[in-house]
Amino acid sequence: MDRPTPISRRGSPFATQLRPQLPGPFLLVVSVTLLVLFLLAVPVAERGPQVALPTAAETIPLDPTLATVLTVDQADMYVLDGRRVSAGDLPGLLESMAKAPRRPTLVVRGDATLPYRKIREVVQLAHQAGIPNVRLEVEHAK
């Protein structure tokens, strides 16, 4: 004969008395151990790889006769070799520089507080114009 389904005190056949198989102190020890391992592993993972960057003494000196300096400021004003240039004229001037008989080096100079997105736009314009050698300089506040 079929045995009737046991019914709990709450009246549901699904809410039977289940007893944990693992004792409470064991779960506490395992939880604390995993927490400690996690807290030790996270700072190690956040450090990342150590990269040796070159120092200024190891860089190749720039010949000032072959360099063209483009200064960018916060107000989207550009100064190309001492003369003020508008943002619309900049691509044409960079293309004419790229077509010059000597391959110039473009030095993009910006303030330390200038957002990198503005510098990146200028570097992309230079590469699109055909200037392969672009260097970056940062002007620090005095």
Structural domains counted in the chain:
1
Q: Per-residue confidence at 104, pLDDT binned at 50, 70, 90?
A: confident
Specify if 55 maps to a domain.
no
Could you tell me which residues are beta bridge partners of residue 135?
Answer: 107
Q: What are the respective helix, strand and coil percentages of the chain, to the nearest 5?
A: 35, 20, 45
Question: What global pTM score does this model have?
Answer: 0.54
Specify if 118 maps to a domain.
yes
Specify if 104 maps to a domain.
yes
Q: Per-residue confidence at 81, pLDDT binned at 50, 70, 90?
A: confident
pLDDT value, residue 35 = 95
Tokens representing 70? 């483009």
Specify if 3 maps to a domain.
no
Whichever domain contains 102, its CATH number is 3.30.420.270
Specify if 44 maps to a domain.
no
Strands 105-111 and 67-72: parallel
Strands in the chain per DSSP E: 67-72, 78-80, 83-85, 105-111, 134-139
C-alpha separations of 137 from 91, 97, 98 in Å? 20, 19, 20
**Mean pLDDT score across all residues of the chain:** 78
Specify if 83 maps to a domain.
yes
Q: Per-residue confidence at 97, pLDDT binned at 50, 70, 90?
A: confident
Higher pLDDT: 56 or 114? It is 114
Specify if 47 maps to a domain.
no
pLDDT value, residue 5 = 61
C-alpha separations of 3 from 6, 7, 84, 141 in Å? 9, 12, 95, 87
Q: Measured between alpha carbons, how far apart are the two ends of the chain, in Å?
A: 95
Specify if 20 maps to a domain.
no
Digit-coded pLDDT (tens) for 33-75: 999 999 988 877 776 667 776 666 656 666 666 788 888 887 7
Which residues, in sequence order, are CB contacts of 97 under 8 Å at separation 6+? 68, 104, 106, 129, 131
Q: Residue 118: which domain range?
A: 63-139
